[in-house]
Amino acid sequence: MIDKRLFLVPVLLLGACDRRPDPDVLANVEAEQRSAAADAGRIECATGTAPFAAGCTIERIADGGDTILTLRQPDGGFHRLRITRDGRGVVAADGAEAARVTVIGNDRIEVAIGDARYRLPATIGPIAR
C-alpha cells in the first residue's frame, strides 16, 4: 500500500519554486559558511577565471617577529605571504611575483599573485604598535 503523504512532497516542493531567496538570508548563510570554513583552516581561493571556493588551506608560522602565511591550493600549488605592519596587509614572502592586495570588506582582503586569488580575514585600519 502506498502512503498518500508521499504525493504531497512534490506538491510542496513545486510550491516553493515560485519564491525568491531573501538576499539578507543568503548573505547570512554565506557569512556562516565563510566562518565555518575559517574555523576549519580553509579560505576562499580561485585560479584563473574559476569561481571562488573554500578549497585552500592557510598555515600561520611565527618567524622571529614576523608572521608567515602559507596558502595551499587544492592542486598542490602554494604561496607564502608575510604579514606587514605598515598598512599594506601582506607581501609576497618569496618568489618573483608581487602580491596585489585589495580591500573587499570591513574585515576581508583579496590577495592576487599570478593567476591565484585568495580571500583572507584582515583587520582594516591603523595598526597598533
Could you read off the pLDDT of 89-115 as tens digits, one per residue? Answer: 899 998 889 999 999 988 899 999 999
b/e 32-65 (16+ beta carbons within 10 angstroms → b) = eebeebeeeebbbbbeeeeeeebbbbbeeeeeee
pLDDT in tens, 17-52: 556 667 776 666 666 666 555 556 789 999 999 999
10 Å CB burial of residue 2 (0-12, 13-18, 19+) is: exposed
pTM value is 0.65
Residue 127, domain member (yes or no): no
Residue 15, domain member (yes or no): yes
Residue 46, domain member (yes or no): yes
Residue 77, domain member (yes or no): yes
Q: Is the pLDDT of residue 57 over 50?
A: yes
Residue 129, domain member (yes or no): no
Number of domains in the chain: 1
- Please answer whether residues 89 and 122 qualify as being in contact, where contact means their C-beta atoms are separated by less than 8 angstroms: yes
Domain that holds residue 85: 4-121
